[in-house]
Amino acid sequence: MTETTGRPATASGEFALGGDLRVNRLGFGAMRITGPGIWGEPADRDEALRVLRRAVDLGINLIDTADSYGPYVSEELIAEALHPYPADLVIATKGGLVRPAPGVPWEAVGRPPYLRQCVEMSLRRLRLERIDLYQLHRPDPLVPLEDQVGVLRDLQAEGKIRHIGLSNVDTDQLEQARAIVDIVSVQNRFNITTRDSEPVLEHCEQHGIGFIPWFPLAAGETAEAGPLAETAARHEVTPAQAALAWLLHRSPVMLPIPGTSRVAHLEENAAAALISLNTDEVEQLSALA
């Protein structure tokens, strides 16, 4: 691997969300720029702003957030750090997940009037006239999915959303939503050791849908020994970097969004795009699930 210079994220390759929204495949997840427990202001606000600006410098042009991160803090920081936005920057946000306090379980709220309010408020906080990618954060089991996706379709028709994505869904829910509106991305938990969403990833591959893995760096005990540690040592990188490189090699529709609150860690993550794994290494790491 070469040194982290220039815009390493561009080495991850491109993916066209919806066929027309081109992004570099290695993005940034803006959940961890908030306070402890994903609640409130960050401990170091200036560093959080530096992280966002440095992400763009590194060639990252997909930033993923949600109104529930803070809540609201992540979106507000993105606007403060980056508005007016670079022409090629895609900001993806999510709505429909709430909690009253840190440490309390997240709850889905998918009533159409509430989702409409979520979109309107995200537009205001992000200082946008249209959100490039808006994702239902988690389907609400108490509300028909067609109603939840339907209101997003309506907002798309009104010009407030460009593309629609889903998060935390199974294949049946994805197919149900696709019968209502074009779905360009799915954001599910997926990493080198957690692969419950393999069927969803396969569906995305078959239909050209972007797959955004959340919690992409859960390497766990595999970082201490075995194929991941060995691969990292061969390439003179960290196990976390090797795990990110594996995600990029795993599928052409994979769009990892590792997050951090520190510039140094951000630069390390971006450098993972420069790692070239061979076929044997990819297969060995794929067997870790």
pLDDT at 160 (0 to 100): 98
Can you spell out the DSSP letters for 250-261?
H-TTB------S
Report yes or no on 223 lying in a domain: no
Handedness of CA 179, 183, 187, 190 (dihedral sign): positive
Report yes or no on 69 lying in a domain: yes
Can you spell out the DSSP letters for 76-87?
HHHHHHHPSPPT
Report yes or no on 34 lying in a domain: yes
Report yes or no on 27 lying in a domain: yes
Q: Where in the sequence numbering do the catalytic residues fall?
A: 69
Residue among 16, 8, 15, 18 at smallest CA distance from 162: 18
pLDDT at 221 (0 to 100): 53
Number of domains the chain is built from: 1
| pTM, two decimal places | 0.96
pLDDT at 217 (0 to 100): 81
Report yes or no on 286 lying in a domain: no
Give the 3-state secondary structure of residue 203.
Answer: helix
Report yes or no on 16 lying in a domain: yes
CATH of the domain at 208: 3.20.20.100
Q: What is the mean pLDDT of each run of 10 residues along the chain (289 residues)?
A: 71 98 98 96 98 98 98 98 98 97 95 98 98 98 98 98 98 98 98 95 98 82 77 96 97 97 98 98 92
Q: How far apart are CA 232 and CA 198, in angstroms?
A: 24
Report yes or no on 75 lying in a domain: yes
Q: Which domain does 117 fall in, by range?
A: 8-218+252-259
Q: Which two tokens stand for residue 177?
A: 């939503």
CB 289 within 8 A of CB 195: yes
Residue among 62, 67, 125 at smallest CA distance from 94: 67
Q: How far apart are CA 20 and CA 23, in angstroms?
A: 10
Percent of the chain with pLDDT over 90: 92
Report yes or no on 177 lying in a domain: yes
pLDDT at 4 (0 to 100): 44
Q: How far apart are CA 2 and CA 24, in angstroms?
A: 19
